[in-house]
Every structure is written in C-alpha cells, then in structure tokens.
Amino acid sequence: MKRVMALDVGFKRIGVALSDPLKLTAQPYEIIFRKSNKETFEKLLKTIEEKNVETVVIGLPLNNKGEKTKIAEKIEKFALKFKEFLEKQGKNGVKIVFTDESFSTAEAEELMNSLNRKRKFLDDIAAALILRSWLESKS
C-alpha cells in the first residue's frame, strides 16, 4: 500500500511526516537540515522509495486573504526543482500537491505546550499537522 508524505519546507530545515499505509493517520517522521538541494532531494527520494510514497503534500503559507506569500513562491520553486529531480530519477508517478499550511508551526507549538513537552525544532510536527489536515480534506 502507498503512503503520503508531507513537507514543511523552510530555508534551514524541512519537516517530514508520513501517513500510515491506509492514509488515515499522520506521524512526524524526520527533520532534514538543508545543505544543498541535491542532498535534500536525495534524502527525500530515499524516504519515498523506502516508505512507498505516492503523493508528496507541500505546505504553502498563504496570507489572511488566501493569497500566496513571497515565501510560498520560493517553496513552489523548490517543489518544481524537486519534481524535475524525481522525474530524472524515474519517479514520474510521484504526485506533488500543495495545501495551505498557515499557522501549522504555531499549532505545533501550542500542541507541544499543551503536552508540556519541549523541543528545539517542531518542523516534523508541523508537517504532520499539514498532512493530517490534507488527509481530512480528502476523506
């Protein structure tokens, strides 16, 4: 069975989350500390292959009018380069979709505070919240 992967893309880090094979739940998976796009793409490809991922959901921050922010435009450029990389690797079947991720990081902070847990980075939890929201919109 295939999984869905979600990315919370930042300039320094990318949070990664994965669905279960039934696409019912979203779990934080890892945080990738970005160096080069090539290195980042290779790490993501490895996860796609190991975890049998068919769809990659990428969070885009929108403003309060629902319009793309400057950061969203940069994330779209990153996604386009990632799609080209996947195609060169013969992974044409992997779909890349976008979803609104506004407030996912704030929501991740609230969640961790409510659980009385402290973590330096919350990117993977933000990715899981993005994925959960996307999965719920599909059911």
Ordered by start, the domain boundaries in the chain are: 3-138
Output the pLDDT for position 64.
84
80 Cβ partners below 8 Å, 6+ apart? none
On the question of pLDDT at 84 being above 90, the answer is yes
Tell me how far CA of residue 63 lies from CA of 49, 77, 101, 109, 128, in angstroms: 34, 18, 10, 20, 21
**Overall fold of domain 3-138:** Nucleotidyltransferase; domain 5 (3.30.420)
Of 2-11, 21-30, 118-127, where does mean pLDDT reach its minimum?
118-127
Output the pLDDT for position 134.
95
Query: In angstroms, rounded to a whole number, what is the distance separating the alpha carbons of residues 52 and 47?
Result: 8
Query: Percent of the chain scored above 90 by pLDDT?
Result: 73
- To the question of pTM greater than 0.85 for the whole model, the response is yes
Output the pLDDT for position 79.
97
On the question of pLDDT at 113 being above 90, the answer is no
On the question of pLDDT at 110 being above 90, the answer is no
What are the tens digits of pLDDT across the range 18-58?
999 999 999 999 999 999 999 999 999 999 999 999 999 99
